[in-house]
Amino acid sequence: MSGRHASPPTPASLAEFRRGGPVTTYTKTLRVHHQVLAACVMALIVSGFSLQSEAVSRVGRYLGSAAVLGVVHRIAAIVLVVMFVHHLVTVAVPAVLAGLAAARGAKAGVIARLGAAWRAIPMLPNLDDARDALHTVRYFAGREPRDHRAGRWHYRSKLHYMAIVWGVPAMGLTGLILALPTVVPFQLARVLGLVGLAVEPRTLVAIAEIVHSHEAYLVVIVSVVWHFYRVLVPPRRDVFSGQLTLAEMRRWHPEWYDAHVAALGYDPLASPP
């Protein structure tokens, strides 16, 4: 085990590992967040592109008129934003506060505290993930004999998470500007003026149209083409059940598996006591 990844066993995961699995990978809260996110993204993609694209509208028309699709799009957007805020309040912010408290207790400096806050959310990427991504590139180029050994969190999963962290606020703000073009752009222009940025409301609307449209294409590429493929081929059941068998854990998270083996003192899949 390389030990580069922060993949230490927790008391709960070690107890599950000792019993022979399955090992919990996602809590119920995270699974609910993920399922709501998936449903909202699919609704937004279908309704949004049906309203924007004449070709896609031939499919979308079976779901209702443009007015109906507009209502579906707005409801899905509201639910997505509410889910995003709930995730921040229940998962991200408590983790960051815990990381800051630990750094404060160790009397760390400002930079160290910021680093602790970043590391407190394990789904945020770090330098090891950049090395893993480079290793994968070298592997597909034939320069490495095998792909990198993933820890608890794969760098691809972290990229997907970062896409959500960036995408939801960006799509939410630009969508709000486009939904209320006579109110939000003017108020936003007034706020920007307070910090010395003079921007016309119509310019904000034009920017919102470009960002909202191009970000939508990026969402389709990342979620449908890349993420769905990685989850469904082969199928990752823990997305729904929240648990992996030991064999699945060893296959998809080998470094995390090795950390449990090291803590337990033997490999239950190789030499049971």
Instruction: In whole angstroms, give the CA distance from residue 56 to residue 73.
Output: 15
Instruction: In whole angstroms, give the CA distance from residue 146 to residue 76.
Output: 41
Q: How far is CA 249 from CA 4, 6, 78, 222, in A?
A: 18, 16, 36, 24
pLDDT band per the 50, 70, 90 thresholds, residue 5: low
**Is the pLDDT score of 3 beyond 50?**
no
Mean pLDDT of 72-81: 94
3-class secondary structure, 24 = strand
pLDDT band per the 50, 70, 90 thresholds, residue 59: low
Instruction: In whole angstroms, give the CA distance from residue 246 to residue 261.
Output: 11
Count of C-beta atoms within a 10 Å radius of residue 174:
22
**Model confidence over 152-192: pLDDT tens digits?**
888 888 888 888 898 999 999 999 999 999 999 999 999 99
**Is the pLDDT score of 8 beyond 90?**
no
pLDDT band per the 50, 70, 90 thresholds, residue 55: low
The percent of residues above 70 in pLDDT, for the chain, comes to: 90
Averaged pLDDT of the chain:
85
| Residue of 162, 170, 163, 149 lying closest to 253 (CA atoms) | 149
Count of C-beta atoms within a 10 Å radius of residue 68:
13
Instruction: In whole angstroms, give the CA distance from residue 91 to residue 63.
Output: 35
Backbone φ, ψ for residue 145 (5° rounding)? -70, -25
**Is the pLDDT score of 143 beyond 80?**
yes
- Amino acid symbol at 226: W
Q: Quick one: tokens of 247?
A: 């064999």
**Is the pLDDT score of 83 beyond 80?**
yes
**Is the pLDDT score of 2 beyond 60?**
no
Q: Which of 52-56, 98-102, 198-202 has the lowest mean pLDDT?
A: 52-56
Which ranges of 141-226 would DSSP assign to H, the alpha helix? Answer: 155-179, 184-194, 201-219
Placement of tokens 């006579």 in the chain: 182
Q: What pLDDT score does 115 carry? A: 84
Q: What pLDDT score does 11 carry? A: 86
More confident residue, 51 or 165: 165
Mean pLDDT of 125-132: 88
The percent of residues above 90 in pLDDT, for the chain, comes to: 27
**Is the pLDDT score of 6 beyond 80?**
no
Q: What is this structure's pTM?
A: 0.83
Q: What pLDDT score does 61 carry? A: 61
